Structure 1
Amino acid sequence: MSRRSARELCMKILYEMEIKKEFDRKVLMTNEEYKVIKTEEDLYMENVIDHFINNQRIVDEILESHLTDWKLNRISKVDLSILRVATVEILFIPEIDSNVSINEAIEITKSYSEDKSAKYINGVLDSIATEKQSS
């Protein structure tokens, strides 16, 4: 499994958590795709999911503070899940360059969301990365 595929699966897991309102690691562990595909990216996926579960309030507050005229509950659940994966990478996984996180989020957005979402997601994530670098 490639890192992009792992990011996509993380996005799907976070989407499932959001739909079910069940923010628990068992959503990852019971996911059929995750159970079937055991790869070197397992640790990455577990890291992203665990960081999100343990820091959901922080991630969502930071995201919301960088949204322009929007609230989290107005963003599509797919876009929100993509933003959450990339935000976790930017904030909590320093070995992943912020530009890589942003570019991967844009590419995943192009596959799973509307065309106009990519530009918006780029702006939000760039703002988060810039703020993190200046702090």
Structure 2
Amino acid sequence: MASYRHLARIAVMQTIFAFEFRTGVDLEVELEHCTEEFANKLKDTDFAKDLLKGIMKEKEDIYKVMQEEAPEWPIERIAPVDRAILAIGIYEIIYSKDVPPIVAINEGVEIAKSYGDLNSAKFINGVLSSVMHKYRPEGAEKPSPEKANKSALEKKKK
């Protein structure tokens, strides 16, 4: 079963996709429409709203990063679904410190497998991995066995 954050990311991806193709789209109304699909599983839409707001606020910088990390692909040539997925992943890696970069990459890849074309997941993985190594290199480090065991024990206590 998909987590509420995973479903929220899908709704945000769909909202960004719609925004790019239709002029005059009210983002809040569109997001509401997109979250209706998951109404029984997505009770709290605050995460989706905050994510969308953050992406739209930082959109110009996000697209600059996208262009820097995929220079052989001008923004307008990147498939719209892939562009939306990358925007979410780049935002979470750079601006959202509560989401581990590896999680942002994995979420992007999983959404790309469901909504992108045959090469989307590989493309998303490559670009987001590059963003992580550049902006959050600590996210690429594997925890030591001691740290992993300590973390597992802490989770069991909760």
Q: Give the TM-score band, short-chain normalised.
A: 0.7 to 0.9
Cα offset for 1:21? 4.9
1:29 lines up with 2:32 in the alignment: no
Counterpart in the other structure of 1:74? 77
The separation in 1 between residues aligned to 2:135 and 2:123, in whole angstroms, is 19
Indicate conservation of the 8 Å contact 2:14/2:34, yes or no: no
What percent of counterpart residues are identical? Answer: 24
Q: How does 1:50-89 map to 2 (within 5 A)?
A: 50-89=53-92
Cα offset for 1:91? 1.4
1:4-47 C-alpha deviation (Å, 9 max, x unpaired): 1111001001101111255x7x323344233683622x121111
In structure 1, list runs of 5 or more residues that go unmatched. Answer: none
1:39 lines up with 2:43 in the alignment: yes
Aligned residue pairs, count: 132
1:102 lines up with 2:121 in the alignment: no
Choose between structure 1 and 2 for higher RCO, CA contacts under 8 A separated by at least 6 residues. Answer: 1
Whichever of the two has the greater Rg, that structure is 2
1:9 lines up with 2:30 in the alignment: no
The separation in 1 between residues aligned to 2:96 and 2:23, in whole angstroms, is 25
Q: 1:90 aligns with which of 90, 93, 102?
A: 93
- Given residue 111 of structure 2, which amino acid in structure 1 is its aligned partner? I
Cα offset for 1:53? 1.3
Give TM-score, length-normalised by structure 2: 0.75
1:79-114 C-alpha deviation (Å, 9 max, x unpaired): 111111111111111100010010011011000111
Give TM-score, length-normalised by structure 1: 0.87
Match of 1:94, SS state, is coil
The separation in 2 between residues aligned to 1:33 and 1:58, in whole angstroms, is 25
Counterpart in the other structure of 1:123? 126
